[in-house]
Protein backbone atom coordinates (compact mmCIF):
# COMPACT_ATOMS: atom_id res chain seq x y z
CA UNK A 1 0.00 0.00 0.00
CA UNK A 2 1.43 3.41 -0.95
CA UNK A 3 1.91 6.08 1.66
CA UNK A 4 0.66 9.51 0.63
CA UNK A 5 1.51 12.83 2.27
CA UNK A 6 -1.25 13.84 4.63
CA UNK A 7 -1.05 17.46 3.50
CA UNK A 8 -2.27 16.37 0.06
CA UNK A 9 -5.36 14.51 1.17
CA UNK A 10 -8.24 15.23 -1.20
CA UNK A 11 -10.71 17.93 -0.26
CA UNK A 12 -14.22 17.18 0.92
CA UNK A 13 -15.44 17.70 -2.62
CA UNK A 14 -13.94 16.94 -6.02
CA UNK A 15 -14.66 18.36 -9.42
CA UNK A 16 -15.24 16.07 -12.40
CA UNK A 17 -14.27 17.17 -15.95
CA UNK A 18 -17.65 18.67 -16.68
CA UNK A 19 -17.08 21.06 -13.81
CA UNK A 20 -19.92 20.04 -11.48
CA UNK A 21 -19.01 19.56 -7.84
CA UNK A 22 -19.53 16.16 -6.27
CA UNK A 23 -18.74 14.59 -2.93
CA UNK A 24 -15.59 12.50 -2.63
CA UNK A 25 -17.55 9.24 -2.58
CA UNK A 26 -19.54 10.32 -5.64
CA UNK A 27 -16.34 11.22 -7.45
CA UNK A 28 -14.93 7.77 -6.74
CA UNK A 29 -18.09 6.17 -8.10
CA UNK A 30 -18.02 8.52 -11.09
CA UNK A 31 -14.81 6.89 -12.34
CA UNK A 32 -15.04 3.25 -11.23
CA UNK A 33 -13.27 1.74 -14.24
CA UNK A 34 -11.42 4.57 -15.96
CA UNK A 35 -8.02 3.36 -17.23
CA UNK A 36 -6.48 6.65 -16.09
CA UNK A 37 -7.23 5.93 -12.43
CA UNK A 38 -4.27 3.55 -12.34
CA UNK A 39 -2.06 6.62 -12.69
CA UNK A 40 1.15 6.97 -14.63
CA UNK A 41 4.41 5.05 -14.60
CA UNK A 42 5.32 5.54 -10.88
CA UNK A 43 1.91 4.24 -9.78
CA UNK A 44 1.93 1.07 -11.83
CA UNK A 45 1.89 -2.08 -9.73
CA UNK A 46 0.92 -0.23 -6.56
CA UNK A 47 -2.33 -0.77 -4.74
CA UNK A 48 -4.22 2.53 -4.76
CA UNK A 49 -7.01 3.36 -2.37
CA UNK A 50 -9.86 5.81 -2.82
CA UNK A 51 -7.68 8.71 -1.70
CA UNK A 52 -5.00 7.84 -4.22
CA UNK A 53 -7.49 7.60 -7.06
CA UNK A 54 -9.01 10.96 -6.12
CA UNK A 55 -5.57 12.54 -6.07
CA UNK A 56 -4.85 11.09 -9.50
CA UNK A 57 -8.18 12.41 -10.76
CA UNK A 58 -7.45 15.86 -9.38
CA UNK A 59 -4.05 15.95 -11.08
CA UNK A 60 -5.52 14.70 -14.36
CA UNK A 61 -8.29 17.30 -14.27
CA UNK A 62 -5.75 20.01 -13.58
CA UNK A 63 -3.49 18.79 -16.38
CA UNK A 64 -6.37 18.63 -18.83
CA UNK A 65 -7.43 22.19 -17.98
CA UNK A 66 -3.85 23.44 -18.40
CA UNK A 67 -3.42 21.66 -21.74
CA UNK A 68 -6.69 23.15 -22.95
CA UNK A 69 -5.78 26.70 -21.94
CA UNK A 70 -2.06 26.79 -22.73
CA UNK A 71 -1.38 24.02 -25.23
CA UNK A 72 0.78 20.99 -24.54
CA UNK A 73 4.21 22.56 -25.03
CA UNK A 74 3.64 25.55 -22.73
CA UNK A 75 2.43 23.53 -19.74
CA UNK A 76 4.85 22.74 -16.91
CA UNK A 77 4.46 20.35 -14.00
CA UNK A 78 4.48 23.42 -11.77
CA UNK A 79 1.32 24.69 -13.54
CA UNK A 80 -0.44 21.39 -12.95
CA UNK A 81 0.36 21.14 -9.24
CA UNK A 82 -0.64 24.75 -8.62
CA UNK A 83 -4.03 24.23 -10.26
CA UNK A 84 -4.50 20.92 -8.42
CA UNK A 85 -3.49 22.61 -5.13
CA UNK A 86 -1.01 19.87 -4.35
CA UNK A 87 2.77 19.41 -4.24
CA UNK A 88 5.44 18.33 -6.68
CA UNK A 89 6.15 15.38 -4.40
CA UNK A 90 2.59 14.17 -4.72
CA UNK A 91 2.66 14.64 -8.52
CA UNK A 92 5.73 12.43 -8.83
CA UNK A 93 4.12 9.73 -6.73
CA UNK A 94 1.74 9.15 -9.63
CA UNK A 95 3.33 10.55 -12.81
CA UNK A 96 6.87 10.55 -14.13
CA UNK A 97 6.51 13.87 -15.96
CA UNK A 98 4.10 15.93 -18.07
CA UNK A 99 4.27 13.46 -20.96
CA UNK A 100 3.34 10.60 -18.63
CA UNK A 101 0.31 12.57 -17.42
CA UNK A 102 -0.80 13.19 -21.00
CA UNK A 103 -0.41 9.51 -21.92
CA UNK A 104 -2.57 8.65 -18.92
CA UNK A 105 -5.28 11.05 -20.10
CA UNK A 106 -4.97 9.50 -23.55
CA UNK A 107 -5.84 6.06 -22.12
CA UNK A 108 -9.36 7.29 -21.35
CA UNK A 109 -9.79 8.85 -24.79
CA UNK A 110 -8.61 5.69 -26.56
CA UNK A 111 -10.79 3.54 -24.30
CA UNK A 112 -13.96 5.49 -25.08
CA UNK A 113 -13.17 5.77 -28.78
CA UNK A 114 -12.59 2.02 -28.93
CA UNK A 115 -16.04 1.47 -27.42
CA UNK A 116 -17.53 3.68 -30.15
CA UNK A 117 -15.56 1.78 -32.79
CA UNK A 118 -16.89 -1.56 -31.56
CA UNK A 119 -20.46 -0.24 -31.68
CA UNK A 120 -20.52 0.84 -35.33
CA UNK A 121 -23.83 -0.55 -36.65
CA UNK A 122 -24.68 -2.53 -39.74
CA UNK A 123 -26.15 0.30 -41.80
CA UNK A 124 -28.85 -1.24 -43.95
CA UNK A 125 -29.86 0.63 -47.13
CA UNK A 126 -33.17 1.90 -45.77
CA UNK A 127 -34.57 4.42 -43.28
CA UNK A 128 -33.61 2.24 -40.30
CA UNK A 129 -30.02 2.09 -41.52
CA UNK A 130 -29.83 5.85 -41.98
CA UNK A 131 -31.23 6.35 -38.47
CA UNK A 132 -28.69 3.93 -36.99
CA UNK A 133 -25.84 5.72 -38.76
CA UNK A 134 -27.01 9.12 -37.55
CA UNK A 135 -27.28 7.87 -33.96
CA UNK A 136 -23.74 6.51 -34.13
CA UNK A 137 -22.38 9.79 -35.51
CA UNK A 138 -24.13 11.66 -32.69
CA UNK A 139 -22.47 9.37 -30.13
CA UNK A 140 -19.10 9.83 -31.87
CA UNK A 141 -19.58 13.60 -31.65
CA UNK A 142 -20.35 13.44 -27.92
CA UNK A 143 -17.35 11.19 -27.26
CA UNK A 144 -15.05 13.42 -29.30
CA UNK A 145 -16.27 16.47 -27.36
CA UNK A 146 -15.53 14.74 -24.03
CA UNK A 147 -11.90 14.18 -25.07
CA UNK A 148 -11.41 17.05 -27.53
CA UNK A 149 -8.34 18.57 -25.88
CA UNK A 150 -6.49 15.24 -25.80
CA UNK A 151 -7.48 14.35 -29.37
CA UNK A 152 -6.34 17.73 -30.68
CA UNK A 153 -2.95 17.29 -29.04
CA UNK A 154 -2.73 13.71 -30.29
CA UNK A 155 -3.08 14.94 -33.88
CA UNK A 156 0.19 16.87 -33.49
CA UNK A 157 2.71 14.08 -33.99
CA UNK A 158 5.74 16.36 -33.63
CA UNK A 159 4.59 17.29 -30.11
CA UNK A 160 3.51 14.00 -28.60
CA UNK A 161 6.10 11.70 -30.09
CA UNK A 162 5.94 8.72 -32.43
CA UNK A 163 4.92 6.12 -29.84
CA UNK A 164 1.93 8.09 -28.56
CA UNK A 165 0.91 9.19 -32.04
CA UNK A 166 1.08 5.55 -33.15
CA UNK A 167 -1.63 4.61 -30.65
CA UNK A 168 -3.95 7.15 -32.24
CA UNK A 169 -3.05 6.05 -35.74
CA UNK A 170 -3.84 2.43 -34.96
CA UNK A 171 -7.23 3.46 -33.59
CA UNK A 172 -7.88 5.49 -36.73
CA UNK A 173 -7.44 2.43 -38.92
CA UNK A 174 -9.61 0.33 -36.61
CA UNK A 175 -12.29 2.99 -37.03
CA UNK A 176 -11.98 2.84 -40.81
CA UNK A 177 -12.18 -0.96 -40.73
CA UNK A 178 -15.33 -0.86 -38.56
CA UNK A 179 -16.98 1.62 -40.93
CA UNK A 180 -16.05 -0.50 -43.94
CA UNK A 181 -17.45 -3.66 -42.38
CA UNK A 182 -20.64 -1.98 -41.18
CA UNK A 183 -21.39 -0.30 -44.49
CA UNK A 184 -20.45 -3.19 -46.78
CA UNK A 185 -22.23 -5.79 -44.64
CA UNK A 186 -25.26 -3.53 -44.92
CA UNK A 187 -25.15 -3.73 -48.68
CA UNK A 188 -25.20 -7.51 -48.57
CA UNK A 189 -28.00 -7.52 -46.00
CA UNK A 190 -30.06 -5.07 -48.00
CA UNK A 191 -29.60 -6.45 -51.50
CA UNK A 192 -28.81 -10.12 -50.99
CA UNK A 193 -28.73 -12.25 -54.12
CA UNK A 194 -30.86 -9.71 -55.98
CA UNK A 195 -28.17 -7.06 -56.04
CA UNK A 196 -27.78 -5.38 -59.41
CA UNK A 197 -24.45 -4.38 -60.94
CA UNK A 198 -23.22 -1.20 -59.27
CA UNK A 199 -25.51 -1.55 -56.26
CA UNK A 200 -22.90 -2.99 -53.90
CA UNK A 201 -20.22 -1.22 -51.87
CA UNK A 202 -17.93 1.24 -53.67
CA UNK A 203 -14.62 0.14 -55.10
CA UNK A 204 -11.82 0.62 -52.57
CA UNK A 205 -14.34 0.71 -49.73
CA UNK A 206 -11.56 0.99 -47.13
CA UNK A 207 -10.34 4.26 -48.66
CA UNK A 208 -13.91 5.53 -48.82
CA UNK A 209 -14.32 4.74 -45.11
CA UNK A 210 -11.04 6.47 -44.26
CA UNK A 211 -12.05 9.58 -46.22
CA UNK A 212 -15.41 9.66 -44.44
CA UNK A 213 -13.72 9.26 -41.07
CA UNK A 214 -11.28 12.09 -41.76
CA UNK A 215 -14.19 14.33 -42.70
CA UNK A 216 -16.00 13.34 -39.51
CA UNK A 217 -12.93 14.10 -37.40
CA UNK A 218 -12.33 17.51 -39.01
CA UNK A 219 -15.91 18.64 -38.47
CA UNK A 220 -15.73 17.57 -34.84
CA UNK A 221 -12.40 19.36 -34.49
CA UNK A 222 -14.07 22.58 -35.66
CA UNK A 223 -16.92 22.04 -33.22
CA UNK A 224 -14.42 21.45 -30.41
CA UNK A 225 -12.67 24.79 -31.00
CA UNK A 226 -16.05 26.54 -30.87
CA UNK A 227 -16.41 27.35 -34.54
CA UNK A 228 -20.04 28.36 -34.85
CA UNK A 229 -21.48 25.35 -36.67
CA UNK A 230 -25.01 24.02 -36.07
CA UNK A 231 -24.26 20.70 -34.38
CA UNK A 232 -27.48 18.85 -35.22
CA UNK A 233 -27.46 20.01 -38.83
CA UNK A 234 -23.82 18.99 -39.22
CA UNK A 235 -24.66 15.52 -37.85
CA UNK A 236 -27.50 15.29 -40.39
CA UNK A 237 -25.20 16.27 -43.24
CA UNK A 238 -22.40 13.95 -42.16
CA UNK A 239 -24.87 11.08 -41.93
CA UNK A 240 -26.21 11.80 -45.40
CA UNK A 241 -22.75 12.07 -46.96
CA UNK A 242 -21.39 8.87 -45.40
CA UNK A 243 -24.58 6.99 -46.22
CA UNK A 244 -24.47 8.18 -49.84
CA UNK A 245 -20.78 7.28 -50.17
CA UNK A 246 -21.71 3.62 -49.72
CA UNK A 247 -25.35 3.37 -50.81
CA UNK A 248 -25.84 5.94 -53.57
CA UNK A 249 -27.37 4.33 -56.66
Q: Would you say the CATH fold of 119-247 matches that of 8-97?
A: no
| Higher per-residue confidence, 160 vs 208 | 208
For residue 20, the model assigns a pLDDT of 36
Topology of the domain covering 119-247:
Tetracycline Repressor; domain 2 (1.10.357)
User: Could you read off the pLDDT of 164-219 as tens digits, one per residue?
Assistant: 777 778 888 899 999 999 998 855 544 444 444 444 556 688 999 999 999 999 99
Residue 79 clears pLDDT 60, i.e. is over it = yes
| Higher per-residue confidence, 108 vs 157 | 108
User: Could you read off the pLDDT of 109-127 as tens digits, one per residue?
Assistant: 999 999 999 999 999 999 9
What class does CATH assign to 8-97?
mainly alpha
Mapping DSSP onto H, E and C, the string for the chain reads: CCCCCHHHCCCCEEECCCCCEEEHHHHHHHCCCCHHHHCCHHHCCCCCCHHHHHHHHHHHHHHHHHHHHHCCCCCCHHHHHHHHCCCHHHHHHHCCCHHHHHHHHHHHHHHHHHHHHHCCCCCCCCHHHHHHHHHHHHHHHHHHHHCHHHHHHHCCHHHHCHHHHHHHHHHHHHHHHHHHHHHHHHHHHHHHHHCCCCCCCCCCHHHHHHHHHHHHHHHHHHHHCCCCCCHHHHHHHHHHHHHHHHHCC
Share above pLDDT 90 across residues of the chain, in percent, rounded to a whole number: 62
Domain ranges of the chain: 8-97, 119-247
**What would the mean pLDDT of 46-50 be, rounded to a whole number?**
90
pTM exceeding the 0.85 threshold for the entire prediction: no
Amino acid sequence: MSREPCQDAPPRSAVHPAGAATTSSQATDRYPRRPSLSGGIPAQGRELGAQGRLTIRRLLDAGLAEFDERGFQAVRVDDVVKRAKTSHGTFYLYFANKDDLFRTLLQDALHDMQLITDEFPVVTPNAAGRAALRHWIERFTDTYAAHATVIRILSQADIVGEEVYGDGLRLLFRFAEAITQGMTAAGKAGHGDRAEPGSGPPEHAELTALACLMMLERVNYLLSVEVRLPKDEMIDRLSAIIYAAFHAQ
